[in-house]
Amino acid sequence: MRFYEIVVEQLDLAAELLQKQHPMESRLALILVDNATEYALHRFATDYFKLTDARYGCTLEEKRAFFRTKGKVEGQHIKPKIAFARKEGAISADQAMFVRYAHEFRNQAYHAGRTHDPIVTELAAMYYTLFCEMLPGFSPRRMRLKSNATLTERVKRHMPVPAVIMPGPSCSCEIALSLLHILPQVECEIAVALRAALADWLAEIDEVIDYLVRNDDSAKETEFLIQDTQYRNDLWAGAPPEGFMFCDDGSGDVAVDPSQKAAWEQMHENMKDWRPNVTAQTLERWKRRVDGLISGDPPGILLQKYCKLVAEIEPFKKMIERRCAAFDQYIEELIDDARDTELRGRLESGTQ
């Protein structure tokens, strides 16, 4: 009974938080659903090993293999738990894929402060729905019975009517249906949210490129800007070494100490086989792939496609934004210098 208490309490609270339709509450809902999922995966594995421990394996090597698997699955990491539940048929391949990626989003929100505001509500709602679909497969194989009278009100409203609950898939199905009934309707499907978030990213990249091509003389034209930005990023891979310094014109060009000329030439020689990862054609391919995120895809496949696109787009987005920030800083410095010159001129005129 403790199994149902833990997961139902968290899912009911997650549904309440999702009612707010706000990123902060939705992140908390995502964390709650993920915690319930990880607990259910762990409980499924520990139940299995408790029931098979005494009779499993006939040879010493089989027993060693059993305990190696047991130690890995009952450890702190979720991936072995997901793989074990998939192997035992408790969850489908797509459900396993979704949980793997959704758990990473939870980790980013909880540990790294990445908010994922544009998609977090739809993601949490989809995770909630998926957990309810998986719940019958996680039904406890054994547990102590408990009277409904001792349950919390939040849990009690989702439990079947009889005073004593019998564990099993039938009980889990009733609970899952009750939990799904209180899940609020989110603004859009997860595919729409994922597509919109990536489309906004690509629109921001286009806007930055257009701004630099129009205003930064060193940008020249779109294809040159895209490749030059990557080349400079890869050439330095951080701050310039001793004897080198960036020019203060916002271009990203480098002023080289004469004594370091040979080293500068060697750096470029080392890059002679360099090829850009991103071109103007790459941007167009990204747009087509974003448009390909459709509602008909299974949730796990959708999240996998989204994460792959993020992994490809985000590094270039950061590069081009850094270049734009450097150019903007250069413009601000020019403006400040012009103001200082004008002010000095006025002061000198006033003293004459």
pLDDT of residue 250: 47
Rg (CA), the chain: 29
Of 167, 193, 209, give the one whose Cα is nearest residue 293.
Answer: 193
Q: What is the arithmetic mean of pLDDT over 226-233?
A: 90
Ramachandran region of residue 57, left (φ > 0), alpha (ψ -120 to 50) or beta?
A: left
Per-domain residue ranges of the chain = 2-187, 192-346
Asked if 50 and 38 touch (Cβ cutoff 8 Å), the reply is no
- Confidence (pLDDT) at 30: 96
How does residue 234 score in pLDDT terms, banded at 50, 70 and 90? confident
Mean local confidence (pLDDT), 321-349: 86
Separation between Cα atoms, residue 244 and residue 326, nearest integer Å: 17
Instruction: Return the higher-pLDDT residue of 61 and 163.
Output: 61
pLDDT of residue 55: 54
pLDDT confidence tier of residue 232, bands split at 50, 70 and 90:
confident
Sequence-distant (6+) residues with CB within 8 A of 321 are 208
Mean pLDDT is lowest, of 132-146, 183-197, 212-226, 306-320, for 132-146
pLDDT value of residue 351 = 60
Helix or strand or coil: residue 255? strand
Interval 218-224 mean pLDDT: 89
DSSP 259: G
- Could you give the 3-state DSSP secondary structure of residue 352? coil
**What contacts 29, CB < 8 A, 6 or more positions away?**
13, 14, 15, 17, 18, 124, 128
Checking if the pLDDT of 145 tops 90, the result is no
CB-CB contact of 178 with 111 (8 Å):
no
pLDDT above 80 for 261: no
> Could you give the angle at the alpha carbon of 273 between the alpha carbons of 269 and 277, nearest 5°?
125
Mean pLDDT over 295-314 rounds to 94
Encoded tokens for 223: 């294809």
Over range 310-328, report the average pLDDT: 94
Give which of 277, 214, 215 is closest to 250, Cα–Cα. 215
Mean pLDDT, rounded, for 17-33: 95
Residue 17's pLDDT is 97
For residue 282, the model assigns a pLDDT of 97
Tokens, residue 277: 């990862």
> What percent of the chain has pLDDT above 90?
55
How far apart are the C-alpha atoms of 248 and 329, rounded to whole Å? 9
**How many Cα atoms occupy the beta-carbon half-sphere of 103 within 13 Å?**
18
Residue 304, pLDDT above cutoff 60:
yes
202-213: pLDDT as tens digits: 999 999 999 999
Cα end-to-end span (Å), the chain: 92
pLDDT for the residue 163: 43
Q: Which two tokens stand for residue 287?
A: 């747009």
> What's the mean per-residue pLDDT of the chain?
86
Choice among 120-124, 126-130, 136-140 with the minimum mean pLDDT:
136-140
- What does the pLDDT look like over 76-110, one tens digit per residue? 899 999 999 999 999 999 999 999 999 999 999 88
SS3 of 244, please?
Answer: strand
CA distances to 163, 188, 213, 307, 319 from 300, in Å: 38, 17, 39, 11, 29
Beta bridge pairs of residue 256: 244
pLDDT of res. 56: 52
Q: Is the pLDDT score of 318 beyond 70?
A: yes
Q: Which residue has the tokens 């019958």?
A: 136
Of the ranges 51-55, 246-250, 328-332, which is most confident?
Answer: 328-332
30/10 Cα distance (integer angstroms): 10
Strand (E) or helix (H) holding 246: strand 244-246
- Per-residue pLDDT at 18: 96
Which alpha helices (DSSP H) does 157-189 contain, by range? Answer: 169-181
- Output 179 or 349, whichever has higher pLDDT: 179
